[in-house]
């Protein structure tokens, strides 16, 4: 591809993207293809000769797009959102065009210095104290793994990386059952082991970790010869928004000298609105906090904001400095690759800078407040229907519900069938969970360009599908 073709196809791709966004409501939200259908349409061997871009682009539109689930669809109400505000997409065009590897300050000084400034903007927006420093990770999973490694190293007096875990006292980490499974995976990868993730009972409408039970579990483990290392607190858990009393968790952790990591991957975005900050009261006492601007705030994936009280502990855990990665003649620099598990780093800060400047914090707050209000309105409408019940009340813009069945019918099977029917019909996209062992259907409002009419349309899609099954 020569420079003129590059210009031509760059324009073509940008125009396609704008048209795609404009017409998303005309598409079913979830891909309607059968398993293997896309693979069958793709050549079984790579081409020996170059193919024209017209043919490649035509196949993209014909074969690939129909097999995509449209995460930017305004009626995407499943999982949590993976937003890409248009201004963020424009920033990513620029990042992709420059294609910089931003692992060190010297490999792109602007990338490092902008990341430092923009993460401090976010810290201020969230109301976190000035003692926290920030870094952009690819996902909350990576931030949690980094936190888990710091917990381990602190507990082992920084000998885990050097000596390995063989022969060491077993390290223990504590959480409720409301945390994301990324905590389980971090436990595996950090070598701590699933059996050393201690689940603490929860209570109350927010399914919060029982602080007294946490205290007792840590004390028992110490007496039994285990090495308690840290606690992972949840704010806005994936299933139904389970949220711990962060202040109470931190108080127990401080009593025993344990590290506290707060996973607010989805709900953290809402903390730019002061009225929602009671949901993580006490967060200033935590050692690290993660939330994903690529979920609810509008920054294109991947972009996870990881705030750390003591960056030196993180660097001590993760940094390796061979001669070829040193920057000579410059002092006091930050090399963010030393704050992350991967060495390679994309220029993620640019889309945050564009996003925050283009919308302003007040614009982003308005979006989040609207989603919360619309979700509560929808929950009230569903609750008023005699054949539906609200299982968990709205936590921000997330709630769960269930369609009642006649006595003797299989309630779980019926509600799973209802989710499938709704998603196959294509007007909206929902997912299911289990609450106290029973199937419930999740709803969350969070797509960047959703309107109140889109959320209202969910009511019709849900009720129509349920009535068609009875």
C-alpha–C-alpha distance, residues 90 and 350, integer Å: 10
User: Is the same domain home to 59 and 108?
Assistant: no
Q: Note the pLDDT tens digit of each residue in 216-257.
A: 999 999 999 999 999 999 999 988 989 999 999 999 999 999
Give how many domains the chain has, as a whole number.
3
Amino acid 42: pLDDT: 92
- Whether the CB-CB separation of 295 and 83 falls below 8 Å is answered with yes
User: Is the same domain home to 222 and 125?
Assistant: yes
Rounded average pLDDT over 131-144: 92
Percent of the chain with pLDDT over 70: 97
User: Is the same domain home to 142 and 264?
Assistant: yes
pLDDT confidence band for 308 (50 / 70 / 90): very high
Looking at 20-34, 96-110, 251-265, 284-298, which range is the least confident one? 96-110
Amino acid 295: pLDDT: 93
Helix (H/G/I), strand (E/B), else coil: 470: coil
pLDDT confidence band for 210 (50 / 70 / 90): very high
Helix (H/G/I), strand (E/B), else coil: 172: strand
User: Is the same domain home to 340 and 416?
Assistant: no
pLDDT at 322 > cutoff 70: no
User: Is the same domain home to 241 and 325?
Assistant: yes
Look up tokens 């750390």; give the residue: 308
Amino acid 144: pLDDT: 93
List the domain range (segments joined by +) for residue 39. Answer: 3-68
C-alpha–C-alpha distance, residues 233 and 264, integer Å: 8
Amino acid 321: pLDDT: 66
Question: pTM of the full predicted structure?
Answer: 0.90
pLDDT higher at 61 or 332: 61
User: Is the same domain home to 336 and 196?
Assistant: yes
Summary mean pLDDT of the chain: 91
Last residue of a domain, one of 316, 346, 376: 346
pLDDT at 355 > cutoff 70: yes
Last residue of a domain, one of 68, 91, 117: 68
Rounded average pLDDT over 364-385: 97
Rounded average pLDDT over 204-210: 88
User: Is the same domain home to 156 and 221?
Assistant: yes
pLDDT higher at 164 or 349: 349
Q: Note the pLDDT tens digit of each residue in 163-200.
A: 888 888 899 999 988 887 788 888 998 889 899 999 99
Amino acid 289: pLDDT: 97
Last residue of a domain, one of 68, 90, 123: 68
Amino acid 323: pLDDT: 46
We report the CATH number of the domain holding residue 14 as 1.20.1340.10
DSSP of 230-281 = EEEEEBS-TTT--B--HHHHHHHHHHHT-EEEEE-TTGGGGGGSGGGGGGGT
C-alpha–C-alpha distance, residues 122 and 47, integer Å: 47
Amino acid 327: pLDDT: 55
Amino acid 328: pLDDT: 40
DSSP of 294-323 = IIII-PPSS-EEEEES-HHHHHHHH----G
Residue 85 located in a structural domain: no
User: Is the same domain home to 146 and 268?
Assistant: yes
Amino acid 326: pLDDT: 54
Residue 355 located in a structural domain: no
Residue 354 located in a structural domain: no
We report the CATH number of the domain holding residue 394 as 3.90.1150.10
- Whether the CB-CB separation of 294 and 300 falls below 8 Å is answered with yes
Amino acid 329: pLDDT: 43
C-alpha–C-alpha distance, residues 263 and 275, integer Å: 19
User: Is the same domain home to 426 and 463?
Assistant: yes
Residue 79 located in a structural domain: no
Rounded average pLDDT over 62-68: 93
């Amino acid at each position: 591809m020569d420079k003129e073709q590059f210009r031509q196809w760059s324009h073509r791709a940008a125009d396609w993207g704008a048209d795609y966004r404009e017409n998303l409501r005309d598409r079913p939200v979830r891909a309607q293809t059968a398993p293997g259908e896309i693979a069958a349409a793709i050549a079984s061997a790579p081409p020996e000769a170059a193919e024209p871009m017209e043919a490649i682009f035509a196949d993209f539109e014909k074969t690939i797009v129909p097999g995509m689930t449209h995460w930017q669809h305004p009626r995407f109400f499943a999982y949590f959102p993976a937003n890409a505000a248009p201004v963020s997409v424009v920033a990513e065009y620029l990042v992709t065009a420059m294609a910089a590897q931003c692992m060190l300050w010297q490999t792109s000084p602007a990338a490092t210095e902008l990341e430092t400034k923009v993460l401090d903007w976010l810290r201020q927006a969230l109301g976190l104290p000035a003692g926290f420093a920030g870094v952009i990770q690819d996902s909350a999973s990576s931030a949690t793994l980094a936190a888990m490694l710091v917990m381990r190293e602190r507990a082992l007096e920084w000998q885990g990386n050097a000596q390995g875990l063989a022969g060491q006292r077993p390290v223990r980490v504590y959480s409720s059952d409301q945390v994301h499974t990324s905590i389980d995976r971090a436990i595996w990868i950090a070598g701590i082991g699933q059996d050393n993730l201690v689940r603490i009972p929860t209570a109350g409408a927010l399914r919060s970790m029982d602080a007294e039970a946490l205290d007792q579990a840590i004390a028992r483990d110490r007496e039994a010869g285990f090495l308690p290392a840290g606690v992972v607190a949840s704010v806005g858990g994936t299933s139904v928004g389970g949220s711990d009393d962060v202040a109470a968790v931190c108080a127990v952790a401080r009593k025993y000298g344990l590290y506290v990591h707060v996973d607010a991957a989805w709900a953290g975005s809402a903390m730019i609105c002061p009225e929602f900050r009671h949901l993580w009261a006490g967060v200033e006492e935590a050692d690290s906090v993660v939330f994903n601007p690529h979920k609810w705030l509008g920054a294109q994936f991947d972009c996870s904001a990881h705030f750390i009280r003591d960056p030196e502990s993180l660097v001590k855990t993760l940094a390796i400095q061979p001669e070829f990665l040193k920057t000579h003649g410059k002092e006091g620099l930050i090399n963010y690759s030393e704050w992350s598990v991967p060495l390679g780093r994309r220029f993620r800060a640019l889309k945050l800078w564009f996003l925050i400047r283009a919308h302003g914090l007040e614009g982003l707050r308005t979006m989040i407040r609207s989603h919360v209000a619309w979700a509560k309105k929808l929950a009230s409408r569903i609750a008023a229907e005699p054949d539906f019940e609200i299982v968990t009340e709205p936590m921000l813009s997330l709630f769960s519900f269930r369609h009642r069945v006649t006595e003797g019918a299989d309630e779980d099977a019926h509600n799973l069938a209802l989710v499938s029917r709704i998603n196959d019909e294509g007007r909206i996209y929902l997912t299911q969970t289990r609450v106290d062992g029973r199937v419930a259907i999740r709803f969350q409002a969070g797509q960047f360009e959703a309107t109140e009419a889109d959320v209202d349309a969910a009511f019709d899609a849900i009720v129509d599908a349920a009535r068609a099954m009875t």
